[in-house]
Amino acid sequence: MAQAALAPRDAAPAVFQTVRTPDLHPRPTKVKADTVKVFYGQKQALHGVTIDIPEKAVTAFIGPSGCGKSTFLRCLNRMNDTIDGCRVEGEILLDNRDIYDPSLDVVELRARVGMVFQKPNPFPKSIFENVAYGPRIHGLARSKAELEEIVVASLQKASLFNEVKDRLHEPGTGLSGGQQQRLCIARTIAVSPDVILMDEPCSALDPIATAKVEELIDELRKNFTIVIVTHSMQQAARVSQRTAFFHLGTLVEEGPTDHVFTNPSERRTQDYITGRFG
Amino acid sequence: MTEHTISAYEAELRHLAGKIAEMGGLAEQLVADSVQALVRMDTALAQRVVFEDRRLDQMQRDIEEASILVIAKRQPMAMDLREIVGFMRIANDLERVGDLAKNIGKRVVAINSSIVQKKLMVGVEHLAEIALEQLKHVLDAYANRNEALARQVRERDDEIDALYTSLFRELLTYMMEDPRNIGQCTHLLFCAKNIERIGDHATNIAETVHYAVTGSMFETERPKADLTSEQAIALPG
Amino acid sequence: MSETALTGPVDWTSENAVGRRRSRHAANRRLQFYGIAAISTAIGLLGLLITTLVIGGYPAFLQTKITLDFPIKAEYVDAADPAAGNYRNVVRDALLQIAPEATTPPQQRMLGQLLTNNTQFFVRDAVVANPSVIGGTLTLTVPAADPIDQLNKGLIDRTLPENQRRVNDVQLGFYDRLVEAGQVSAPFNWALFFNSDSRFPELAGLAGAITGSFYALLICFLISFPVGIAAAIYLEEFAPRNRWTYLIEVNINNLAAVPSIVFGLLGLAVFIQLFGIPRSAPLAGGMVLALMTLPTMIIVTRNALKAVPPSIREGALGVGASKHQVIMHHVLPLSLPGILTGTIIGLAQALGETAPLLLVGMNAFITSPPGGFLEASTALPTQIFIWADSPERGFTSRTSAGILVLLGFLIVMNGIAIFLRQRLERRW
């Protein structure tokens, strides 16, 4: 107990309050995080993040490098489990069910909470196999025809089908960067997740490819709950409905994107989005 | 406020703010000069006002271009974005103020030699005084990001409107008393209207200041006391 | 900006600057020269080695043979049982045809020493295969004895005094007569590959050693490949990072550097004395080689697994693949080229290993290829070792030839490794 009184060296301020601005017309909550703390060994990366992520909307996490936004994102599908020495405290509810509950299978969770990564990472297999992989391992298709149907539908939803319909059996790694990223999105939505996490999905893409992916995100939000981490504030402003600003492992401010980008309530948010940090 | 990480961005914003201040000063000067010219029937001064207005127009164009460039280059956010939008709007308002001053100047040239009755002038002069004061306050409010002062300016616009309404009646009365006054009075009426408009632009600027500082619009409709356009004028007697 | 003002413009043409530049370039050139010199030395030494081997070994690839007409008289060979005939006399008669004057036993013995000791068995085998020649004449080409082989290849100097020569003047006369008659030839020595070991150089071949090596390597592969991959997967993918796994890791790395003879001792003590595996068996040798290859296998496989980009794992985890699926569907297939390359190089290393095999007795003298994993056997490097130890002149060139064959196998195996890497490697 005596040790607990000693604050870690690089701890965030002991008392901090997230500034929250509610939506004018609040949406139902899909993911509810309550005082999520993450430790990497001795180092604390997140100092208690509490946030409600609305259903069928895009929530953007912004903040400087190392602010914990990606760490928090990776808590939402327990991707942090794969890192040695990573410990998560607090509670994350997906549809009111604790995702860290031992009774919940992490494989099932990751099927329900899909993830798209920073660098397009298609498997070195054919385009078809890339998309079919998820449905196959989860047994979502009962027949070959059904599998094909899922693949085509996913590619269509990822607005990639028209570009690749003639070469479904060519390697996915042969596509351009933007196409690869959309292939990864197709791969993710092929297992019909509830939530799609995107970890800087456009940071490796050129502006045109970025625009296509953003267009796609806007389209996908009708059916999926999307959480996106981005370094581009313009992108956050363009694609998201709600924005959360992280700084030094704390959630500083969260609110409707329109509000955060024109008139943030927190001084640190303002400084960050206007480029006054440091 | 901490500075931008990109110093050139900071410099651009400072430059624009400086330009606005300069423009504000010039607009103020033009209004003061035009009223002076009107009161003294100083045609030369009036002509200078007309001439100087071009500079104001040029400055407005410069500010607009520079602002667009900043938006294109820096994609400003939040406060900066509001500030830049503010630059453009205020420049616009000031340019209009300049136009109105020019208009007064033109009328001075038009009225020219005819001796204007002093008593007619008093009301206009008073109106101009308040309008100028409003303009001055709102520019101060802008320079100091003083939201309270801006609010004051906005609320005080009533006073100008009320004054204008009474001046309108007064001039109308003169015109009815003696049809020979009609020419002069009409010019004066237009001048008064112009001054009243200047007050409106000051209010606009106050609103812009409020938006730039707080990020929100004024909650209620602006108080309006210029009722001349809405009232049927009952012709006396 | 202020720094520039402080230091002022740099004069790149000044004496100093030019000097600095010159010495920098000189240093570059020196470094390059050292490198080239080192490479040249290495290539030179390798060339020297290969040249020596080729010069020393090429005679072994040719074999002097003598063609003779063997009169198969019915009095020596009974048509009812050709295998039991007196073939000694058949051979003697055949030789007497070229040297009828040799009537005394010492002369006939000298005559008999022209041909390989086993000539009678060659003739017997030919007759058994074709009994119709009984009563007629059989023309057969048989290997010449080692001294004649040496003589024919110019390795024995005729001008030496007779007592310093392994071929005496009488034999020299016989040999010359045979050459004149066109009965001496030197075709390619297939026996080198298809015969097993023999005390007579002219008959000794590598077949037994190659078979033994093959069996041993097969055992080595069957043990070290699955065990190595399984261990590597566990260490790389599942093992927690703690003091114990660190210890294991360090020890594996150290094992890779343990002298191979230690593994041999271990094999002798455990496999042969404790488990009772027969001595000299390819099974014992293969197990020892597997022990020796295992650390290399584990290290190579771990590196191959590590080389699979984490983004692929993440991608698979992201769509909800379990750890097992990630490894079996993605990581392992992607690292397979690397693993195979490592395996082949590890096996090539095992192929060349001698010391541990000597300790488990895989230097048996066997005259026919081993028929299974438990039969006494020899291996390529141990065979070379045995030959290098043998006194007969003919084994000198056979030793070099054996080394060349071993090198050939190593080159082929490395070639396969390179081919596999080029062919299977996928870019991402």
For chain C, domain boundaries: 60-189, 207-424
- Asked whether the beta carbons of A159 and A216 are under 8 A apart, the reply is yes
Q: From residue C320, how far is each of A138, B66, C125, C313 by CA, in Å?
A: 8, 52, 70, 11
**In what helix (H) or strand (E) does residue C216 lie, and over which residues does it extend?**
helix C207-233
pLDDT score, position C231:
93
State yes or no: pLDDT of A181 exceeds 80.
Answer: yes
Query: Considering only the top CATH level, what class is C207-424?
Result: mainly alpha
Which pLDDT score is estimated for C128? Answer: 87
Chain C interface includes A137 (CB < 8 A)? yes
In angstroms, what CA-CA distances link B192 with B85, B126, B162?
Answer: 30, 10, 12
Structure-token pair, residue A90: 């607090």
Cα Rg for chain A, rounded, in angstroms? 19
Q: How far is A230 from chain B (nearest CA, A)?
A: 16
Please give the residue that has the higher pLDDT: either B70 or B221. Answer: B70
Residue of chain A nearest C427, judged by CA positions: A124
Report chain A residues whose CB lies below 8 A from the CB of C325.
137
Asked if A276's CB is within 8 angstroms of B1's CB, the reply is yes
CA-based nearest distance B82→chain A, Å: 7
- Judge whether C360 and C212 are in contact, CB under 8 Å: no
CA–CA separation, A228 and A251 (whole Å): 15
pLDDT tens track, chain C, 428 positions: 444 556 778 888 888 889 999 999 999 999 999 999 999 999 999 999 999 999 888 888 888 999 888 888 888 888 888 888 888 888 888 888 888 888 888 888 888 888 888 888 888 888 888 888 888 888 888 898 888 888 888 888 888 888 888 888 888 888 888 888 888 888 888 888 888 888 888 888 899 899 999 999 999 999 999 999 999 999 988 888 889 989 998 999 898 888 988 999 998 999 988 998 888 889 999 999 999 999 999 999 999 999 888 888 889 998 888 889 999 999 998 888 889 888 988 999 899 888 889 888 888 888 888 888 888 888 999 999 999 888 888 888 889 999 999 999 999 998 988 888 888 766 54
Strand-pair category, A242-247 with A58-62: parallel
**Left if phi > 0, otherwise alpha if psi is -120 to 50, otherwise beta: which for C320?**
left
Chain A residue with the nearest C-alpha to that of C323:
A107
Cα B233 to chain centroid, rounded? 27
CA dist B79 and B76 (Å) reads: 8
DSSP label of A124: S
**Which two three-digit tokens encode residue A69?**
């936004």
Pairs of residues, one from chain A and one from chain B, whose beta carbons lie less than 8 Å apart: 42
- The residue of C313, C319, C334 whose CB has the most chain A CBs within 10 angstroms, and thus the best one to mutate to test that interface, is C319
Chain B within 8 Å of A276 (Cβ-Cβ)?
A: yes
Q: Do A122 and C315 touch (CB under 8 A)?
A: yes
Q: How far apart are CA C415 and CA A257, in angstroms?
A: 61
Q: Do C318 and A115 touch (CB under 8 A)?
A: yes
Chain B residues in contact with A262 by the CB 8 A cut-off are 77-78, 81-82, 215
Amino acid at A24: L
Task: Give the residue ranges of DSSP H helices in C307-393.
Answer: 310-318, 323-325, 332-351, 355-359, 380-389
| Identity of the residue in C241, C320, C426 whose CB atom sits nearest the CB atom of A84 | C241
> Of the candidates C313, C314, C321, which has its C-beta nearest A137's C-beta?
C321
For A172-240, give the DSSP string.
GGGS-HHHHHHHHHHHHHTT--SEEEEESTTTTS-HHHHHHHHHHHHHHTTTSEEEEE-S-HHHHHHH-
C340, C357, C353: which is closest to C416 by C-alpha?
C340
CA distance B203 to chain A (A): 22
**What does the pLDDT read at residue B223?**
56
Residue A13 predicted with pLDDT over 70? no
Do chains C and B touch, with touching meaning 3 or more CB–CB pairs less than 8 Å apart?
A: no
User: Which of the residues A121, A184, A203 would you substitute to probe the C interface, choosing the one with the greatest number of C C-beta atoms within 10 Å?
Assistant: A121
Q: Give the distance, in angstroms, between the CA of residue B221 and the centroid of all CA atoms in the same chain.
A: 19
Interface of C with A (CB under 8 A): 240-241, 309, 311-322, 325, 329-330, 334, 426-428
Q: How do A86-94 and A58-62 pair as beta strands?
A: unpaired
Which of A234, A264, A278 is the closest to B78 by Cβ? A264
Q: Looking at the complex, report in whole angstroms how far the Cα of residue C330 sits from the nearest Cα belonging to chain A.
A: 8
Please give, rounded to a whole number of angstroms, the shortest distance from the CA of B215 to a CA of chain A.
Answer: 5
Q: Centre a 10 Å sphere on the Cβ of residue C273 and count the other Cβ atoms it contains.
A: 11
Best to test chain A binding among B77, B81, B214 (most A CBs inside 10 Å): B77
Nearest to C312 among A82, A114, A123 (CB): A123
Partner B contacted by A62 (CB < 8 A) = no
DSSP β-ladder status, A86-94 and A97-98 = antiparallel
For residue A234, the chain B residues in CB contact (below 8 A) are: 75
Select the residue of B5, B74, B81 nearest A277 (Cβ to Cβ). B5
| Ranges assigned E (strand) in A41-167 | 43-54, 58-62, 86-94, 97-98, 113-116
Q: Is B215 left (phi over 0), alpha (psi -120 to 50) or beta?
A: left
Domain boundaries, chain B: 7-214
**A and B in touch (3+ CB pairs within 8 angstroms):** yes
Q: Which two tokens stand for residue C383?
A: 């065979």
Mean pLDDT of chain A: 87
Task: State which fold the B7-214 domain adopts.
Answer: Methane Monooxygenase Hydroxylase; Chain G, domain 1 (1.20.58)
Whether A276 sits inside 8 A of B216 (CB atoms) is no
Architecture of domain A26-273: 3-Layer(aba) Sandwich (3.40)
Looking at residue A11, its pLDDT comes to 47
Return the structure tokens found at A218: 């806007």
Answer yes or no: do A111 and C319 touch at CB < 8 A. yes
SS3 call for C66: strand
Per the structure block, which two tokens stand in for A35?
């005082």
Residues of C in contact with A190 (CB under 8 A): 319
- Residue C136: CB atoms within 10 A of its CB come to 12
- Selecting from A124, A138, A184 the residue whose C-beta is nearest the C-beta of C320 gives A138
A/C interface, count of CB pairs below 8 Å: 70
- Residue B109 burial (CB < 10 Å; 0-12/13-18/19+)? middle
Q: Of A186-195, B101-110, B219-228, which range is least confident?
A: B219-228
Give the number of residues written for chain B.
237
Nearest Cα of chain A lies from the Cα of B73 at a distance, in angstroms, of: 13
User: Which of B74, B78, C318, C313 has its CA nearest to residue A201?
Assistant: C318
Give the Cα separation of C398 and C197 in Å (integer). 11
Per-residue pLDDT tens over the stretch C302-322: 999 998 888 888 899 988 888
Range in B86-95, B155-164, C32-41 the model is least confident about = B155-164
**Is B5 an interface residue toward A (CB < 8 Å)?**
yes
The two tokens of residue A266 are: 């927190």
- Contacts (Cβ under 8 Å, ≥6 apart) of A113: A76, A77, A94, A99, A193, A194, A195, A196, A197
Give the pLDDT band (50/70/90) at residue B56. very high
Asked if the Cβ–Cβ distance from A278 to B5 is below 8 Å, we say yes
Residues of B in contact with A264 (CB under 8 A): 78
Report helix, strand or coil for C190.
coil
Inter-chain residue contact A107 with C319, CB threshold 8 Å: no
Could C318 and A79 be called an inter-chain contact, meaning their C-beta atoms sit closer than 8 Å?
yes
Q: What is the tens place of the pLDDT at every residue in B107-126? A: 888 876 566 667 778 888 88
Nearest to A184 among C240, C315, C320 (CB): C315
What pLDDT was estimated at residue B225?
55
Alpha-carbon gap, residue A9 to A2, rounded angstroms: 16
Write down the ipTM of this complex. 0.84
Q: Which of A234, A262, A276 is nearest residue B215 as measured by Cβ atoms?
A: A262
The pLDDT of residue C87: 86
